[in-house]
Structure 1
Amino acid sequence: MEAFFYVVPSVMAAGLLFGMFRLLVRSRRIARAWNSGLTAEARCLRSYATASGGDTMISTTLHHVFEFTTRDGRVVRFEEADGPGTILEGDVVTVRYAADRPEEATAKAPARGRLLAESGCLLGFLGVALAFCVFFMVTAHWMFDEADNLMP
């Protein structure tokens, strides 16, 4: 029974750490594309939505597939989630990309403050959840130690 109070919070903590890592990778990728200064005109090849959720709540994510040509003549196709609903198939948009990683381009307009705020708030939320998991494990450990001391 004691193991339950350590295993479940540990698995949750691992998931939270992975989420924090993915969030930082995503933010770094977008910031790298914005900071590179390289832009290109890209055509939206496809636009589609995915739905996820359960019986009580459904979340819809809009995806776009873009294709552009880099300055060195390489044709790059990439997909981006959470794009604006105003971009339709066939539209031409400006994309930003890093020279060494054009497949990590973004069609999102630079908004460094918004990226920082979104990332910071999400990291804060995940950090509080992680701290709760650690607190729960420490408290459970303390409770089991106290219970063992009270037993004759």
Structure 2
Amino acid sequence: MEVFFYIVPMLIIAIVVFAAVSVTGRTRQVSQAWNSGLTAEARCLRSYTTTSGGGGDSSVHTTLHHVYEFVTREGRPVRFEEKNGPGTIVEGDIVTVFYTADRPERATAHTPARGKLAASTGCMLVFFGVVVAFCVFFMVTAHLMFSAEGDFLLP
């Protein structure tokens, strides 16, 4: 029974670490695209939304997606999808995209905003740190509450 006091927090920590790696990876990709100096005009091929959440008493989160297509300087056509773009971009619009020469499929249509990117990434990492700290605190507290014989000690 007491193993669940360790397994569940460790599972949460693993998920949070994966999310932190994903957030920092995407931040690095966007930053590299902005810093590469390579831009192209892209056409928005499709715009759609996805929803997550249960509805009813829980909140529903809507994410806006855009699918863009552009041609690199070498003449290679590239199509990519990006989340959380501006709601003012609709199918057929032409936008400027930023990309790296070695991985143009990781392009971004977000306009450079380095401070905003750093602040949002920092806030996410702080949140993830708080979740990990709580899980560690929970595991230590649970460990201290169980005696060596397996008896549950109440404070």
How many residues were matched structurally? Answer: 151
56-65 or 67-76, larger mean C-alpha shift: 56-65
Structure 2 Cα separation of the partners of residues 118 and 86 of structure 1: 22
Query: How far did residue 147 of structure 1 move?
Result: 7.2
Q: Which secondary structure does the structure 2 equivalent of 1:145 belong to?
A: coil
Q: Which residue of 2 aligns with 1:50?
A: 50
Q: Which residue of 2 aligns with 1:102?
A: 104
Q: Which residue of 2 aligns with 1:129?
A: 131
Query: Which AA in structure 2 matches 1:144?
Result: F
6-15 or 138-147, larger mean C-alpha shift: 138-147
Query: How far did residue 43 of structure 1 move?
Result: 0.4
Q: Which secondary structure does the structure 2 equivalent of 1:127 belong to?
A: helix
Shift in CA distance, 142/36, structure 1 to aligned 2, threshold 3 Å: same
Task: Compare the two structures and name the one with the higher strand fraction.
Answer: 1
Structure 2 Cα separation of the partners of residues 58 and 150 of structure 1: 40
74-83 or 137-146, larger mean C-alpha shift: 137-146
Query: How far did residue 149 of structure 1 move?
Result: 8.3
Kept in 1: contact 2:145–2:152 (CA 8 A) = no
Equivalence map 1:131-146=2 (5 Å): 131-145=133-147
- Normalising by structure 2, we get a TM-score of 0.93
The C-alpha deviation readout for 1:3-45, integer Å capped at 9, x for no partner, is 0111111111111111111111111111111110100000001
Of all paired residues, the percent bearing the same amino acid is: 62
Structure 1 Cα separation of the partners of residues 97 and 118 of structure 2: 20
Structure 2 Cα separation of the partners of residues 114 and 128 of structure 1: 21
Equivalence map 1:1-152=2 (5 Å): 1-55=1-55, 56-145=58-147
CA RMSD of aligned residues (A): 1.7
Extract unaligned runs of 5+ from structure 1. none
Shift in CA distance, 150/31, structure 1 to aligned 2, threshold 3 Å: closer
Q: Which secondary structure does the structure 1 equivalent of 2:18 belong to?
A: helix
Structure 2 Cα separation of the partners of residues 14 and 35 of structure 1: 31
Q: Which secondary structure does the structure 2 equivalent of 1:106 belong to?
A: coil
Query: How far did residue 150 of structure 1 move?
Result: 9.2
